[in-house]
Structure 1
């Protein structure tokens, strides 16, 4: 018989059907953390939507009040004064045609791509490159904007994108286990409230079906939906 890993043993010990309060779930994750590195705390939400239909797509941005604990690398398509403002705000790479060519060559190590409206003629040529990675600038998400300075600050300051996958699940990190309990909980609240608020018109019946909390190496714990305002 194959030897069980530590993670498998932990999962076997826990009640897979139990619905945890957020504080209790976080305590369990801390108890069973690897201690070898700072694990990411993650949320998975199963939604009653079919994203194959346009009126059931769930997508948006939310600023996590306690940040993500990650350094987000940001690229900005802008010229002149806007390019200078983007650099001053902390953008990692700013350019126009030169940045486009760099990305076409495969240099796509970015967590967020932002563009001013006048640059979309250039950015549009990168649809097949940025689209599959979810990096294509989008005015609905605030990544096509004349205010690139604020967009860069938001990206660097803890703003994250959420987007439902084809199986109806949204999966997003909300911080690190090294964060204080209250900071992780405030991020959890901000994310779940934003997703509930983003309920699409085409969603019928129960919208939030299940919510789970986990960490990089930890077990997945079901959260009591009473913890989710509006669920």
Structure 2
């Protein structure tokens, strides 16, 4: 077995025997143990009682975190004419049509969020096998297929987080930087968990929100009381 480093051993010792904490206690523990040389991200993982193989149990949505993510989001927009100009004015990093499609087909993906006007979807649809697995495919359900490209760009850059349940029934997201204040991180955790709770699908049976865990990028995880994370 590989020998654990001093930082890893210290973090594990700090977390030993601690579980089902309040959000406040979990955030304080994680902030105190984070010791990487970069500003780690606070990450949340939610285990849901759903089977996303069934359409009526799919969980997908978005939430604007009250204190942002601390991450610089690069946004690409598929649009033409006035809508392309609106996207550029709103701060989009990349704007295009067929030229942008060709860049992506050539393997260049220099963005974290992709937005498209409805008339561009025949072009964007050709990129499904590339953008889909990366969770970058524009979708009207989360507001990334829209005529209001300016608002979509501003939301993406202003702390909006999209979420989608994975095959195993887990949702994972980064919801802030460890350098944020404790109160700011607590607010972000509850805002995210509330959004997932509101997105409960009609086909979900039994216990929906089964487990919530928090961790930093390089640190161990700690479980959080579900009742402490959900305020709706």
The TM tier, using the shorter chain, reads over 0.9
The CA deviation string for residues 188-229 of structure 1, in whole angstroms up to 9 with x for no partner, is 111000000000011000001100010011120110122133
2: CA distance, partners of 1:203 / 1:37: 39
2:71 is paired with a residue whose SS is coil
Q: Is the 8 A contact 1:16 1:221 kept in 2?
A: no
2: CA distance, partners of 1:188 / 1:84: 35
Q: CA deviation at 1:13?
A: 4.9
2: CA distance, partners of 1:58 / 1:16: 32
Structure 2 counterpart of 1:200: 201
Q: Is the 8 A contact 2:36 2:218 kept in 1?
A: no
2:82 is paired with a residue whose SS is helix
The CA deviation string for residues 21-53 of structure 1, in whole angstroms up to 9 with x for no partner, is 111111111221115110100100000001111
Q: CA deviation at 1:125?
A: 1.2
Structure 2 counterpart of 1:130: 131
1: CA distance, partners of 2:17 / 2:76: 42
Q: CA deviation at 1:66?
A: 0.7
Structure 2 counterpart of 1:102: 103
Q: CA deviation at 1:10?
A: 2.6
Structure 2 counterpart of 1:73: 74
Structure 1 counterpart of 2:35: 34
- TM-score, normalization by structure 2: 0.95
2: CA distance, partners of 1:58 / 1:7: 34
Q: Is the 8 A contact 1:112 1:135 kept in 2?
A: yes
| 1:165 and 2:166 aligned | yes
The number of equivalent residue pairs is 231
Q: Which runs of 5+ in 1 are unaligned?
A: none
Shift in CA distance, 2/146, structure 1 to aligned 2, threshold 3 Å: closer
- TM-score, normalization by structure 1: 0.95
Q: Which runs of 5+ in 2 are unaligned?
A: none
1: CA distance, partners of 2:77 / 2:30: 37
Taking only aligned residues, the RMSD between alpha carbons, in angstroms, comes to 1.5
Q: CA deviation at 1:81?
A: 0.5
Structure 2 counterpart of 1:226: 227
Q: CA deviation at 1:186?
A: 1.3
Structure 1 counterpart of 2:4: 4
1:19 is paired with a residue whose SS is coil
Which of 220-229 and 166-175 deviates more?
220-229
2:127 is paired with a residue whose SS is helix
